[in-house]
Chain A
């Protein structure tokens, strides 16, 4: 059964002199536990697509159904709450909260959800362990390397067991070593927790790790292929 169902999704930016159609009647569906890369040259619409999937922006036309709910018609607080309980986000530039420690950053969403302390404590140590940064637990983000910060961000996104995780070019700011580690850790948790990962990238090494590759060009899906796990 699919977690996300995208129908005739179209996004036209009208603020510009010449309207730009960033997504053009896109149809896609994502199943539970997928590990999918959205690829394509800069400007093809990757960020726009992820923003629509995450309910961060409104489509011009079409639907984004998440387990049967159309988030394209949700508004304001309800939409924020929906994201809080269903979607995890990883950003290109980590975007951890600088005044919070690693532990507090990972807890952040669980705190917003009013999860019991014992539960979130256990989850935090499990995730930081899995991400190999348990020793950094009480540090503030600025004392961590970029790769380490992004691992905290992955832990934060996973913390409340969302239905799926969206990552817009998560490795764009990382060196190849950190990229590889991060991808391995992400793939690992994807398997363990059966959480859907959708990430955009134009890094070939990242593409190689994906189980499914969706290629966008000028806002249209030009190919959508499965890829057997490389050894």
Chain B
């Protein structure tokens, strides 16, 4: 083996310039593919994070059937058993209770159908920084009789200002009428425009009173300790809660986001595919030339007693060296850059930033540091290198020794 490694290594440097160029192309491919992937997945994670923070969380617990039929009648009674189960789960960083339903919001002159979300002020703020989104007034304190928080867009539409009264009218638990008056306590502005025009927040006890559903919740949103929940965590949770509950992942509850990401991801993968094809041609042609200009040498080696598979092994080692050198150099050099971009994401400006705002996202491009990315891209490039060796290896198995020596 030592003999083969020595031969392969020296063969690699017979044409120093060509090898360096090939290495450079592998290196570039690794760097680009990792960078593209890391930014892409980083942006998705950011999108998902932003989106679920203001909606369902990464996982949401409901009474079974709630997601299919989102009425207040499918609410459940808050209970200590559930709370302690969630607190004890090491994967869960935060569990946020809500009582959500719909109502007509009226200021007298104007009326609009909106979502009403009864929240635990501290937990909600921990989940999505709601308090920080207020542009006027005060965030909730604990207790009841807290008034209402509404978006600036809704306030404009209803022509309401701080201290004015908002009337909410709807259906309460099991057909009771839900009606109440709430002082405008604060006005918020979210990056997500829909929220600004279509939701009001009440303190949880106020919402429970409004809907005639004391101590009841419609959902418990869960945030992970890591960057996401494993599917296994969800399944375990579901099985320990029992079959009167459902634990849904954000992917089930936000299908449009899933589709959007899938669509964009497909584009990214096509781009990577093109990159790979370009690199594959580079590596392939180098490996091919390295082999074909040594035909006679191959024939001599086989003549004097080297088995063909050993020759093939040498060619494979040469390819392996090119692949591994490129991948390792690329991986090692790109990592600090990615780390930098992870810690200090690229800030987007102009129309792109505008679009991000409209989609309710922070206009940044954070890089993902998921080691899976480096591993996958590295292995793909290595695989390409090995595939490039298939033709020379096939040739080595077949060439005629006397013909080739004569040539």
Pairs A–B under 8 Å by Cβ, sample size 5 = A47-B402, A77-B307, A80-B306, A80-B307, A95-B300
A85 pairs with B402, CB closer than 8 A: no
Binding-face segment, B7-15, B72-80, B148-156? B7-15
A56 pairs with B401, CB closer than 8 A: yes
Interface range, B side: 20 to 34
**Residues of chain A contacted by B90 (CB below 8 angstroms):** none
Task: Determine if A98 is an interface residue (Cβ-Cβ < 8 Å).
Answer: yes
Interface string of A151-177 (1 = CB under 8 A from B): 000001100000000000000000000
- Interface of B, helix, strand, loop or mixed by DSSP: helix
Of residues 303 through 335 on chain B, the ones whose CB sits less than 8 Å from some CB of chain A are 303-310
A-B contact count (CB 8 A): 63
**Residues of chain B contacted by A97 (CB below 8 angstroms):** 7, 297, 300-301
A77 to B11, CA, bound (A): 24
A100 to B308, CA, bound (A): 19
Determine which residue in B6, B7, B304 has the highest number of CB atoms from chain A within 10 A of its CB, and name it: B304
A83 to B402, CA, bound (A): 14
Instruction: Tell me how far the C-beta of A164 lies from the nearest C-beta in chain B, rounded to whole angstroms.
Output: 14
**7 smallest beta-carbon distances between A and B, as pairs:** A84-B305, A99-B10, A95-B300, A57-B402, A51-B402, A111-B3, A56-B402
A interface residue numbers (CB < 8 A to B): 47, 51, 54, 56-57, 76-77, 80-81, 83-85, 88-89, 91, 95, 97-100, 104, 108-109, 111-113, 156-157
A49 to B302, CA, bound (A): 18
A80 to B300, CA, bound (A): 12
B14 pairs with A95, CB closer than 8 A: no
- Given known contacts A99-B7, A99-B10, A109 and B304 CB-to-CB distance under 8 angstroms: yes
A84 to B305, CA, bound (A): 4
B14 pairs with A83, CB closer than 8 A: no
Instruction: Tell me how far the C-beta of A56 lies from the nearest C-beta in chain B, rounded to whole angstroms.
Output: 5
Interface string of B282-307 (1 = CB under 8 A from A): 00000000000000110011111111
A83 CB contact (under 8 Å) in B7, B305, B405: B305
Task: Determine if B347 is an interface residue (Cβ-Cβ < 8 Å).
Answer: no
**Residues of chain A contacted by B301 (CB below 8 angstroms):** 97
A88 to B305, CA, bound (A): 9
B14 pairs with A84, CB closer than 8 A: no
Instruction: Tell me how far the C-beta of B321 lies from the nearest C-beta in chain A, rounded to whole angstroms.
Output: 14
A109 to B310, CA, bound (A): 13
- Given known contacts A56-B401, A57-B402, A95-B296, A100 and B304 CB-to-CB distance under 8 angstroms: no
A98 to B303, CA, bound (A): 16
B14 pairs with A109, CB closer than 8 A: no
**Residues of chain A contacted by B406 (CB below 8 angstroms):** 47
Q: Which chain A residue has the least Cβ–Cβ distance from B305?
A: A84
A108 to B3, CA, bound (A): 8
B297 pairs with A83, CB closer than 8 A: no
Instruction: Tell me how far the C-beta of B6 lies from the nearest C-beta in chain A, rounded to whole angstroms.
Output: 8
B297 CB contact (under 8 Å) in A84, A98, A111, A157: A98
**Residues of chain A contacted by B401 (CB below 8 angstroms):** 56-57
**Residues of chain A contacted by B302 (CB below 8 angstroms):** 80
